Amino acid sequence: MTSKDSQKPKAKNQKLSAKPQVQQVKTRLVLNFPGFEPTDTAHQLGRLNYAAQNTGKIWGFKTTQSEATHNSNKHHSTVTHKTTAPNWQTTTRIVQFRWNDIVHEYEKTSFPLGFLRSSLKYLSFFSDGTIFGYFKTSKRYWGFTIFPILLVCIFAICSWVLIGQFIGNIFIQIILSTLLTLILCKVLGKATYLLTTIADWHFARDMVERSNKETESRFTEFSKTIIAELKTKKYDEIIVVGHSFGSLWAIAAIAQALDAQPKLLDNKKITFLALGSSILKIALSPNAQFMRDYWNKVTANKNLFWHEIQTKDDWIAFYKYDPFELPQFNTPLGGYLINKIKFKDGMEKPRYKKMRSSFYTTHRQYILYYDKRVHFDYMLRLFGPFSAKSLALNNELHRSIDHCGKLV
């Protein structure tokens, strides 16, 4: 575990000296930014409620969800959860931001022309030197980055060998091998996640270049929603959840909200919960200065505590790296902590084994439920009696909830 106090110099494994104060929560606002997935908001909220019900069985509480309000014009939905236990209760308002329509536009691109265009966008991360930043910060993430190239190379080699068995003319062999390689990319692309991965990189490049007008417009729209939510009602705590690419959406939206309302976060208790964050995916690009500026603006607020959760299981995130050790990023004024966890500690073996069958299902586990009581339980942060910051700073705090859900 790495933790830092904003008043201390940058150093690894510098733990907070004072015992953190425990905050109990009766009202909570969750600003939830999902990752790169085509699932619509209704299903995302349904998945969240299902996870909440399963979590309640583990922790001894009951939660009921209100009917969702879908604000399609402003691309978000809201829902309220009321959670009760023997001697505590809390109300959580969730604002679920929506950008799955943008994901659809990238995933439904034509083949092979659209696939080739997306591949060129992906290769831009190599030509501009970003790939070297990935290698320096996380060799695991670098491995994920080169995965599409390796897979296409395997397809190309197999195609060349197969065609070579029947065709002796080199020129014809090159043409037919190229065609067969593309066919394999299409036929096996879904099973190997090649098509999804290339679409993801296309979106990432457009974000770096700020070339997607809808994405830029959505940043501004989300920022206005954040302003409205924070000014409407006072909450005991506010949690900003950024899962994967959602962390980037959250950073951009909050930064623009602060541009419009510099004192927006004053007198508020905010935890930014970064789960399998993809911020460095964009922020390490030489052309993404705007995102680095956004990030520094957000972390410059003394009322915002940054909590990042990483796991070795996940290849689609920057495991075992402290982004705030990079000179281009400021240490959060509100303090921060990075937890390195093991999914298997909270999951039954069959479910864990099934999750591990795909690095995308593994990457999604951050926002799902656990089968056992663990200190890093995501649902406990959203619906439980303690603030997300209190749970982050005290790995034993969850033990004060007995088997019936009562605080002891």
Report yes or no: 100 and 117 within 8 Å, Cβ to Cβ.
no
pLDDT of residue 20: 67
Q: Give SS3 for 29.
A: strand
Partners of 28 in beta bridges: 92, 237
Place of tokens 């320096």: 136
DSSP E strands in 12-115: the ranges are: 27-33, 62-65, 69-71, 76-85, 88-97
- Identify the pLDDT of residue 191: 92
Span 309-364, pLDDT tens digits:
999 999 999 999 999 999 999 999 999 999 999 999 999 999 999 999 998 999 99
Residues of the chain with pLDDT below 70 are 1-20
Domains belonging to the chain, first-starting first, are: 2-102+208-400 (3.40.50), 103-207 (no CATH)
CA–chain centroid gap for 354, Å, is: 21
Give tens-digit pLDDT for 139-149: 999 999 999 99
pLDDT over 90 percentage in the chain: 91
What pLDDT sits at residue 233?
Answer: 87
